[in-house]
Amino acid sequence: MTFINVDKENSGSVDLYFEDHGRGKPVVLIHGWPLSGASWEKQVPALLDAGYRVVTYDRRGFGNSSRPTTGYDYDTFADDLHKLMTKLDLRDATLVGFSMGGGEVARYLGSHGSKRVSKAVFMAAITPFLLKTPDNPAGVESGVYDGIKKAIAADRPAFLSGFLAKFYNVDSLKGTKVSDEVVRLSWNIAAGASPRGTLDCVQAWLTDFREDLNRIDLPTLVVHGDDDRILPLAGTGKRTQEIVKGSRLAVIKGGPHGLNWTHAEEVNRELLTFLAK
């Protein structure tokens, strides 16, 4: 397995696990919470077959990466990504952020600029701003996130089961678009993540990315399902597209939050068409 060191905690190093395959223009795939780079299983082969270099990595605390007790904020996440981009000397890259990973894309471009990046994709992304405030009335009350934190702290495995049912819209898509085994695989990956990291990331969800999005001047694609129960389209995908100048919104009909698995064919078509332009 391949790792890059990004930080240190006491006597231990903080290392990110990554995979780097293929040749061509690089595409960096950034996973969502509480999964890992393995969640791109249906995108990696399509991208490799189309002639791209594909880089996936596990966010700190998740997958095969180190599990520190610090650093679960978007400034640190963006710095981690920057260290990976620099170490691999990636240039003319496309950043693809799914769900929580959309925050890395926004904060990376807002903080580190686009020197190494030529395109951006926000897929079922957390952007622009989830918290309800006087200047963000479309957001969600803070008490909702307090409830999520309490549920994770009380019984993380049980919370993950309920979360993943909504993630894949299991009640309507089971047996047609998603199997019990896929949900079980996702649960196994999620349950293996850092308990501290899983919990602390909830606070990171409340990051305001509006200024980061305003700074983006790259070709940008926003992909979102119209049946996303985790991050509904109206409050996230549509608003992200409205903020990022010149971006395009691709709405996947019937797509749940985990649309990169359930609607992989449609998602891959949109992604490859965008990359080819």
Active site residues: 99, 228, 257
CA-based torsion, 93, 237, 215, 97: positive or negative: negative
- 8 Å CB contact between 36 and 98: no
Alpha carbon distance 42, 172 (integer Å)? 21
Task: Say how many CA atoms lie within 13 Å of 49 toward its Cβ.
Answer: 8
- Helical packing angle, 101-112 and 74-87, nearest 10°: 70
Cα dihedral value 179, 252, 270, 230, nearest 10 = -70
Q: What is the CA radius of gyration of the chain?
A: 17
Alpha carbon distance 244, 37 (integer Å)? 26
- Tokens representing residue 172 in the block: 């309507």
Sheet holding 93-98, edge to edge: 2-9, 12-21, 53-57, 26-30, 93-98, 117-123, 220-225, 248-252
- 8 Å CB contact between 123 and 96: yes
Classify 9 as helix, strand or coil.
strand
